[in-house]
Amino acid sequence: MDLQPRKTKCNPAAAVRNRHLCESLADTCFPVTGGPSASRLHEFFLHQFCDAHTCSRSQKPFSRGGKQRTNAFYVAISVLIFLLLPLFYGFVYLYQRGLQRSTRDLKRISQTGRKKKPS
């Protein structure tokens, strides 16, 4: 096994050029003078995309803002749904089976009461 650290192929000049191009793209698409929404989008674009163009690995370029905890309410509702869903389908199955049994009790109309087909 190789214990030497990996060599990074980061070109600082290319990173600076790419960052400049990214910032100019952010300025073009989301001008700061375009209002509060454009300003927020501009800052978001710079943070999410342009900050990745650097050779220093000190920051995560696509940080997600920390882990979010799962809401206990959604977990409880999910468990409740997964418990009640089979009960519902079982009820529907038994109801349909009962309807099918009741149709077997029907009697056929006698042939004498019906008109014959003309041939």
Question: pLDDT (tens digit, 9 = 90+) per residue, 48-64?
Answer: 888 888 887 665 555 55
Is residue 57 situated within a structural domain? no
Same domain for 16 and 48, yes or no, is: yes
Contacts of 99 (CB under 8 A, 6+ apart): none
46 part of a folded domain: yes
Residue 99 has a pLDDT of: 74
| Residue 112 placed within a domain | no
Q: What mean pLDDT do residues 103-112 have?
A: 63
Confirm if 38 and 31 have CB atoms less than 8 A apart: yes
Average pLDDT, the chain: 79
Is residue 48 within 8 A of residue 58, CB to CB? The reply is no
**Which residue segment(s) compose the domain that 18 sits in?**
12-52
| Residue 15 CB-density burial (10 A; 0-12 exposed, 13-18 middle, 19+ buried) | middle
Q: Where are the alpha helices (DSSP H) in the chain?
A: 12-29, 36-48, 72-103
The position carrying tokens 């920051």 is: 59
